[in-house]
Structure 1
Amino acid sequence: MTLTPLPRVMIEPLARAALLEDLGRAGDITADAIVPADAKATMVLATRQAGVVAGLDVAALSFELIDPRTEVAVIHSDGTGVSPGDVIATVRGPARALLTAERTALNLLCHLSGIATQTAAVVDAVRDHKAKIVCTRKTTPGLRALEKYAVRAGGGANHRFGLDDAVLIKDNHIAIAGDIRTAIERARAAAGHMVKIEVEVDTITQLEVALAASVDAVLLDNMSLEQLTQAVAMVGGRAITEASGRVTAETAPAIAATGVDLISVGWITHSAPILDIGLDIAP
Structure 2
Amino acid sequence: MLFHDDLINKLLTEDVPYGDLTTEEMGISGVQGEMIFRARFDCVLAGADEAAAILKKLGAELSISAANGKVMQAGDHIMTAKANAGILHKGWKVAQNIMEHATGIATRTAAMVAKGRAINPDLIIACTRKSFPGGKTICMNAVLAGGGTPHRLGISETFLLFSNHSNFFPDEQSLLAALTKAVKAQPEKKLTVECEDLDFAEKAIKAGAGNIQFDKVKADKLHEYIPYLRQKYPYVTLEAAGGINIETVAEYAMTGIDVAVTSFVYTGKPMDIEVVIRPV
The normalised TM-score by structure 1 is 0.90
| Structure 1 pair 18–268 and aligned structure 2 pair: CA distance change class (3 A) | same
Q: Does 1:16 align with 2:13?
A: no
Q: Does 1:200 align with 2:216?
A: no
Aligned to 2:95, the other structure's residue is in SS state helix
Letter in 2 for 1:46: R
Letter in 1 for 2:94: T
Q: Does 1:78 align with 2:63?
A: no
Q: Does 1:31 align with 2:23?
A: yes
8 A contact 1:180–1:209 mirrored in 2: no
Q: Does 1:211 align with 2:205?
A: yes
User: Which residue is 2:243 aligned to?
Assistant: 246
8 A contact 1:76–1:89 mirrored in 2: yes
1:228 to 222, 245, 258: 222
Between the aligned partners of 1:164 and 1:179, the Cα distance in structure 2 is 26
Displacement after TM superposition at 1:235 (Å): 1.6
User: Which residue is 1:51 aligned to?
Assistant: 43
Displacement after TM superposition at 1:188 (Å): 4.4
Aligned to 1:177, the other structure's residue is in SS state coil
Deviates more, 1:141-150 or 1:197-206: 141-150
User: Which residue is 1:3 aligned to?
Assistant: none
Between the aligned partners of 2:65 and 2:143, the Cα distance in structure 1 is 21
Between the aligned partners of 1:149 and 1:28, the Cα distance in structure 2 is 29
Displacement after TM superposition at 1:181 (Å): 5.0
Displacement after TM superposition at 1:77 (Å): 1.6
Deviations 1:114-163 (A, max 9, x none): 11011001001012212110111111222212211110100111212111
Deviations 1:34-59 (A, max 9, x none): 24343111221012211111111211
Equivalence map 1:147-186=2 (5 Å):
147-180=139-172, 182-186=174-178
User: Which residue is 2:261 aligned to?
Assistant: 264
Between the aligned partners of 1:149 and 1:280, the Cα distance in structure 2 is 25
Aligned to 2:202, the other structure's residue is in SS state helix
8 A contact 2:105–2:139 mirrored in 1: yes
Letter in 1 for 2:7: L
Query: Segments of 4+ in structure 1 off by > 3 A?
Result: 178-185
User: Which residue is 2:56 aligned to?
Assistant: 64
8 A contact 1:31–1:100 mirrored in 2: no
Deviates more, 1:166-175 or 1:83-92: 83-92
User: Which residue is 1:276 aligned to?
Assistant: 272
Deviates more, 1:26-35 or 1:254-263: 26-35
8 A contact 1:211–1:235 mirrored in 2: no
Unpaired segments ≥5 residues, structure 1: 1-5
8 A contact 1:125–1:250 mirrored in 2: no
Between the aligned partners of 1:41 and 1:183, the Cα distance in structure 2 is 64
| Structure 1 pair 32–255 and aligned structure 2 pair: CA distance change class (3 A) | same
Letter in 2 for 1:109: M
| Structure 1 pair 199–158 and aligned structure 2 pair: CA distance change class (3 A) | same
| Structure 1 pair 118–246 and aligned structure 2 pair: CA distance change class (3 A) | same
| Structure 1 pair 219–154 and aligned structure 2 pair: CA distance change class (3 A) | same
1:90 to 75, 80, 88: 80
| Structure 1 pair 93–13 and aligned structure 2 pair: CA distance change class (3 A) | same
Displacement after TM superposition at 1:61 (Å): 2.1
Between the aligned partners of 2:130 and 2:174, the Cα distance in structure 1 is 27
Deviates more, 1:186-195 or 1:251-260: 186-195
The CA RMSD measured in Å over matched residues stands at 1.8
8 A contact 1:14–1:142 mirrored in 2: no
Between the aligned partners of 1:30 and 1:188, the Cα distance in structure 2 is 63
| Structure 1 pair 43–231 and aligned structure 2 pair: CA distance change class (3 A) | same
Deviations 1:76-118 (A, max 9, x none): 2210111222211111111211111111111111111111011
Aligned to 2:150, the other structure's residue is in SS state coil
Deviates more, 1:135-144 or 1:259-268: 135-144
Aligned to 1:243, the other structure's residue is in SS state strand
| Structure 1 pair 188–13 and aligned structure 2 pair: CA distance change class (3 A) | farther
8 A contact 1:241–1:262 mirrored in 2: yes
Between the aligned partners of 1:127 and 1:279, the Cα distance in structure 2 is 34
Letter in 1 for 2:226: V
Letter in 2 for 1:17: K
Displacement after TM superposition at 1:207 (Å): 1.5
